[in-house]
Amino acid sequence: MLIDTHAHLCDEAFDIDRDEVIGAFEEQGVAKVIEIACDPADFDKAKALADRHERIYLNFGIHPEYASDWADKDISFIREYLKHPKCVALGEIGLDYYWEPYDKDAQIKLLRRQLDMAMELCIPVSLHIRDAYGDAMEVLTDYPNLKGVMHCFSGSAEIAERCVKMGLYVAFGGSLTFKNNKKAPAAAAVVPLDRLLLETDCPYMAPTPHRGKRCLPSMTAITCEKLAEIKGIDPARMELIAAENAKRLFGI
């Protein structure tokens, strides 16, 4: 019943055993995985993966790290990819001020152009926001009816509450389990059960005790356990609720 709502199985970290990793899903209880294609160079690879494997769904979008290349270019080709029957959202898109140097103006411009596209097509978005919640919340107030998810949420409890008020879902991954991370559990605590999603961001962000190793979609179960502990419910119930939420938002 596990649904990993954010994975990068097209990453080169899976080049040696991608089909084996996906082949193990059934036995590991991984029902569905949303593959995030966020570099146009990988769009066709991701599409082929979803065409080949029943459990794989898709997101297409341009990550903020490519903003300086794409902010002023024609991005209308994304529309064609969004028509794929297994594509469930536009993403991941957003703002990332962690990696320097970054071009703030280009990132905001590219984000707004993709948000406009999502609104026009009535498709949810997957948002990647890192060290940029101030600017992101400002941009998002211009999109009051936006549907989507704050992926790998790393903001404060207060920002999480604002996201929920805006109608967004909030997803947590392996970083929720890190010993020194007090912020994510505090944020998870204030998000209502019907707005929580689980994800891995694999091959990155493996949860404790696998931290630093290659992350796998099956590790969603570890984050689910932690989230259940924070919410004071049974892990099996948490898994079911998160799956229902993913179904409601993404239609999968």
The residue ranges that bind Zn ion (CB under 5 A) are: 36, 201
Alpha helix positions (H), the chain: 18-23, 25-28, 43-52, 67-70, 77-82, 104-121, 133-140, 157-165, 183-190, 220-231, 235-250
Alpha helix positions (H), 122-215: 133-140, 157-165, 183-190
Residue 36 or 160: the one with the smaller Cβ distance to Zn ion is 36
CA torsion sign for 154, 237, 2, 62 is: negative
- Shortest gap between Cβ of 7 and Zn ion (angstroms)? 8
Which residue is closest to Zn ion by CB?
201
Tokens 């590219």, residue located: 110
CA distance 52 to 45: 11
Strands lying side by side in the sheet with 148-150 = 2-7, 30-37, 56-60, 87-96, 125-130, 148-150, 169-172, 196-198
- Shortest gap between Cβ of 46 and Zn ion (angstroms)? 12
- Shortest gap between Cβ of 6 and Zn ion (angstroms)? 6
Residue 36 or 187: the one with the smaller Cβ distance to Zn ion is 36
CA torsion sign for 7, 150, 96, 214 is: negative
- Shortest gap between Cβ of 181 and Zn ion (angstroms)? 18
Residue 91 or 195: the one with the smaller Cβ distance to Zn ion is 91
Phi (first) and psi of residue 121, to 5 degrees: -90, 0
- Shortest gap between Cβ of 93 and Zn ion (angstroms)? 11
Residue 36 or 219: the one with the smaller Cβ distance to Zn ion is 36
- Shortest gap between Cβ of 194 and Zn ion (angstroms)? 23
Residue 46 or 228: the one with the smaller Cβ distance to Zn ion is 46
Residue 169 or 228: the one with the smaller Cβ distance to Zn ion is 169
Residue 47 or 63: the one with the smaller Cβ distance to Zn ion is 63
CA distance 216 to 90: 22
- Shortest gap between Cβ of 233 and Zn ion (angstroms)? 27
